[in-house]
Amino acid sequence: MPDTNFNKEEFKTEKEITVDWREILAWVDDLPPMPHVASKVITSLGDPNTTAIQLCELLKKDTALTTKILKIANSALFSRQREISTINQAVMLIGFKALKGIVVAATIRQMNSDLNSIQRIVWDHSIATAMFSTNISKFLRKPYQDEMFLFGMLHSLGQFVILNFKETKNKFKDVLNIIKETSCDYSHAESQVFGFTHPLIGALVSKKWNFSAEICQIVLHYADSLETFKEINLQNEKTLILKLADILSHTLKLGTPEGYPDLSGNIKNIALMIGFKEETVLNDIENIMESTQKQFDEEENIY
């Protein structure tokens, strides 16, 4: 039976669901759980009583996960001007919040070890958006900047899930064809093909993986139209940073399918809403785009 803890109203978005809600829940309920060690690590990272020693001992139980974490931890996005050679150093220097994003990135990559051409598009876009989310929040000196890499990785989680099921994987080509022919975005094309969108699936899986309600809502709403963000509270600010990161990634064609619409007209408005200064916004955004493009080119294979 589907998990009854999923409330339809809690996961309501702009895009209408045109398939039976119970079918979606049953489908999500059939998903394999997050790998055991990664799941325990994520749970431990959310527990204020967890110590660094406990976390390190847990991580050491999965050599492949630890190796991937160390590679990502030594990327320019996370390194603290010194090489991180042990998992203990990674935990101590990077911190719990940033480590959560690294663990998710490593886990998703492990679950998609052999990327086909379509999965590569989604993967590249996830990494680019995670980089942009981190760099934007760092530039604005947001107190939650260590969380933003996680949001960037999770924003495409629903697509990875869709691409891991045979019945939906084969139909994803139809999504790309609609985008190519009509220049619509992912959500519009997915609605036509599946009757639901990847932000909904990503939010539902995030809840199944025991992420916070805030994280689930950010994943769920990042693709909503700008008009829905009438109040700029903390959650909406994080969502808008993710939305801007997503648009900038597509603007640079980082993991972007052929025919994807040009959404760059929203860049300035979103940037001003999250704290960029009117007099320097365009120059600041251009600099962030240049540095993130360079970062992606140099380190995309690390992830």
> In the predicted model, is pLDDT for residue 183 greater than 60?
yes
Q: Could you give the CA distance from residue 229 to residue 270 in angstroms, rounded to a whole number?
A: 10
The pLDDT, as a whole number, for residue 253 is 97
pLDDT digits (tens, 9 = 90+) for 212-250: 999 999 999 999 999 999 888 999 999 999 999 999 999
Question: Considering the domain boundaries, does residue 12 fall inside one?
Answer: no
Please compute the mean of the pLDDT values over residues 30-59 and round it to a whole number: 88
Domain range for 105: 32-111
Question: Considering the domain boundaries, does residue 27 fall inside one?
Answer: no
The pLDDT, as a whole number, for residue 1 is 37
Contact 164, 112 (CB under 8 A): yes
Q: How confident is the model at residue 80 (pLDDT cuts 50, 70, 90)?
A: low
Q: How confident is the model at residue 256 (pLDDT cuts 50, 70, 90)?
A: very high
CATH number of the domain residue 151 falls in: 1.10.3210.10
Instruction: Classify residue 145 by its DSSP letter.
Output: G
Residue type, 218: I
Q: How confident is the model at residue 2 (pLDDT cuts 50, 70, 90)?
A: very low
Full-model pTM: 0.92
Question: Considering the domain boundaries, does residue 20 fall inside one?
Answer: no
Judge residue 224's burial from the number of C-beta atoms within 10 Å of its C-beta, 0-12 exposed, 13-18 middle, 19 or more buried. middle
Count the Cβ atoms, other than its own, within 10 Å of residue 3: 12
> In the predicted model, is pLDDT for residue 117 greater than 70?
yes
Q: Is the dihedral of CA 118, 119, 124, 126 positive or negative?
A: positive
Number of domains in the chain: 2
> In the predicted model, is pLDDT for residue 95 greater than 90?
no
Question: Considering the domain boundaries, does residue 8 fall inside one?
Answer: no
Please compute the mean of the pLDDT values over residues 76-99 and round it to a whole number: 85
